[in-house]
Amino acid sequence: MGSVKITLCAGLLAAFAFAPTAYAQDGGFSVSPSSPVPGSDVSMRVSDCTEKTGTAVSAAFVADIRLTGTDGTLVGESRIRTAVSAGTYEVKVRCGGADRKGTFTVKHGTAHPSAPSTPVAPVHAGGGGTARHQLSAADARLDGPGTAHAVTGLVLAGAAAVAVALRSARRSRGTG
């Protein structure tokens, strides 16, 4: 009986996986899913574009969608803002020199995104490579070793090499 349940579940899963996705299409582009919920990921497909890149902008998106592709079809992804309310939202697509407009509907509900979205305005935390930009001229000495440090290091390395050579010579003569 267990194998029948597994077979039935696998068949249902395959049916849902290969089922066509609903698209909202208007103005020569489509949004998938056609009625996303706040916090869900959306993908956009733009057809009949002569350029290789484009941009899609909507107040419902967390960030503008960067569209890329070839052969007249551009694709890109974004996420619906979690704070957006249900309703119809306009999308403006810039492809080459032409602007296209269309709409899609955000329905009521919440999604559990698979990954955090890219921040639009990240926090200025400093650290890493940004710390160098915060230094003033008085703190230039923090930039790392200069010529004096390099010369001192070479002198110390040479002294260590001489000490090792003398020690080895003594041991080989048996006086050490």
Q: How far apart are the C-alpha atoms of 94 and 28, rounded to whole Å?
A: 12
Give the mean model confidence (pLDDT) for residues 84-93.
Answer: 91
pTM of the model: 0.49
- Let me know the angle formed at the C-alpha of 106 by 103 and 38, rounded to the nearest 5 degrees: 135
**Structure-block tokens of residue 44:** 């956009």
For 99, the enclosing helix (H) or strand (E) is strand 98-106
Count CB neighbours of 67 within 10 A. 24
Confidence band for 90, pLDDT divided at 50, 70 and 90:
very high
C-alpha dihedral, 13 to 17 to 20 to 26, nearest 10°: 130
- pLDDT tens per residue across span 67-76: 998 888 889 9
- pLDDT tens per residue across span 6-27: 654 454 444 444 433 333 445 6
